[in-house]
Chain A
Amino acid sequence: DQQVKQNSPSLSVQEGRISILNCDYTNSMFDYFLWYKKYPAEGPTFLISISSIKDKNEDGRFTVFLNKSAKHLSLHIVPSQPGDSAVYFCAASARSSNTGKLIFGQGTTLQVKP
């Protein structure tokens, strides 16, 4: 049972344009969501997070939107740069459970073309 889903395995955008990566979840107990970025031969690195009490969080070129009623979140990257080309994972947790366990999606490979 995939509780966190990233339905697009890959995305290709032109440099300077917006990249939108999507993620859906099924477990209503999730109250904290994160995006990680992963380059080949490296571990995932934390990008941005959002608590369920918010619907938007911004950090520079990265914005995460959360729609709790639809159980959907998205990551917007504006403007996209070639260095953003990587695999992006969304992840969810129930912080109230006081555990380090994260539930990850399958990942979306983003390619930003110069």
Chain B
Amino acid sequence: KAGVTQTPRYLIKTRGQQVTLSCSPISGHRSVSWYQQTPGQGLQFLFEYFSETQRNKGNFPGRFSGRQFSNSRSEMNVSTLELGDSALYLCASSPAAGVFHNEQFFGPGTRLTVL
């Protein structure tokens, strides 16, 4: 079974621009969560989607948004980029919402650098 894939793997943007990151979950998985990893902060929860609906949202400004499509693929968008948005963005998929977390599988992440 193919794992979680994220595209692109690396991205360089400038302040003020917007960016869209993509996540394809494991086949059959319907839940997708997004996390931001920065040095010293660990992984911080952004949002969770299940069946095209956002089920949960972390403490991030409205510049961060996401969506999920009918095929469970998910995208997240960051508008008006700031230097502090430079981070590794990780996507995780699981078969259903609220399942045991040992069934949550992470992708390799997208490294976003904002200049």
The interface bits of chain A over 6-46 (1 if a CB of B lies within 8 angstroms of the residue's CB, else 0) are 10000000000000000000000000101010000111111
Q: How many A-B residue pairs have CB under 8 A?
A: 77
- Residues of A in contact (CB 8 Å), total 27
Taking a contact as CB atoms under 8 Å apart, the answer to whether B102 and A49 are in contact is yes
With beta carbons under 8 angstroms apart, the residue of B35, B90, B104 that contacts A46 is B104
- A49 proximity list for chain B (CB < 8 A): 100-102
Q: With A45-B106, A104-B42, A106-B41 given, can you name 9 additional A-B contacts, CB distance below 8 Å? A: A43-B90, A46-B101, A46-B104, A49-B102, A91-B43, A100-B98, A103-B45, A105-B42, A107-B42
Instruction: Determine whether A102 belongs to the interface, using a CB cutoff of 8 Å to chain B.
Output: yes
Bound complex: CA of A49 vs CA of B109, how far in Å? 23
Known: A43-B90, A43-B107. A101 touches B56 (CB 8 A): yes
With beta carbons under 8 angstroms apart, the residue of B40, B42, B97, B109 that contacts A99 is B97
Chain A nearest CB from B107 CB (Å) reads 5
- B98 proximity list for chain A (CB < 8 A): 95, 97-100
Bound complex: CA of A107 vs CA of B102, how far in Å? 18
Known: A49-B102, A98-B97, A101-B33. A44 touches B58 (CB 8 A): no
Q: Which residues of A contact B (CB under 8 A)?
A: 4, 6, 32, 34, 36, 41-46, 49, 89, 91, 93, 95, 97-107
